[in-house]
Chains A and B, each alone.
Chain A
Amino acid sequence: MSADHVATLDAFTKQNKIRLPLASDFRRTMLPAYDAMVTNEQSPIYRYAKRAYFIIDREGTVRWIKVMDNPLDLLKPDEVLKALKESGAS
């Protein structure tokens, strides 16, 4: 998910040969619902996405989250896989 426009994401994926499924929240409909939008008007990334992870189980319930305070931080893939496995993913 990204707050970028579809055309931007399309160009980015082609340029960088990315195969992940991407969706655009250009209208900011999803970000506030997930409390994942920067709302500090003083921030240079005001109304853009925080870097955030959500794991939703088979019943549609949010089970694991991580919303980064610093957008430069990334979770380690092992940490995400661990949470996925604990959510029942094989």
Chain B
Amino acid sequence: MKRALAVALVLVAAVATPAARAMEHDPSAIRMQPYDPPKPAPAFALPDLSGKTVRLGDFKGKIVLVFFWATW
């Protein structure tokens, strides 16, 4: 987790420099893409921070944004 924070800080610092700006990716290449063809989301059951199990089915009828942190 500390490493993830360090990476984030390095990233912020890098973006702030002109040299790093030249290395930025094409913004058009970093976009959400329609999932074609759409497929049923795989079910999951994971513990949250209170120990409660979170299931995809808990959100039935709602739009859900699932975001995987790239932590290591």
Q: Are B48 and A4 in contact (CB under 8 A)?
A: no
Query: Which residues of chain B have C-beta atoms less than 8 A from A9's C-beta?
Result: 49
Residues of B within 8 Å of A, CB-based: how many?
39
Q: Are A61 and B63 in contact (CB under 8 A)?
A: no
Nearest CB on A from B61, distance (A): 5
* Residues 30 to 64 of chain A near chain B (Cβ within 8 Å): 30-31, 33-34, 36, 44-45, 48-58, 60-64
Docked Cα-Cα span, A2 to B71, in Å, equals 7
User: Which residues of A line the B interface, CB within 8 A?
Assistant: 1-4, 6, 8-13, 21-25, 29-31, 33-34, 36, 44-45, 48-58, 60-66, 68, 70-73, 75-76, 79-80, 82-84, 87-89
User: Which residues of B line the A interface, CB within 8 A?
Assistant: 1, 7, 11, 25, 27, 30-35, 38-42, 44-49, 51, 54, 56, 59-72
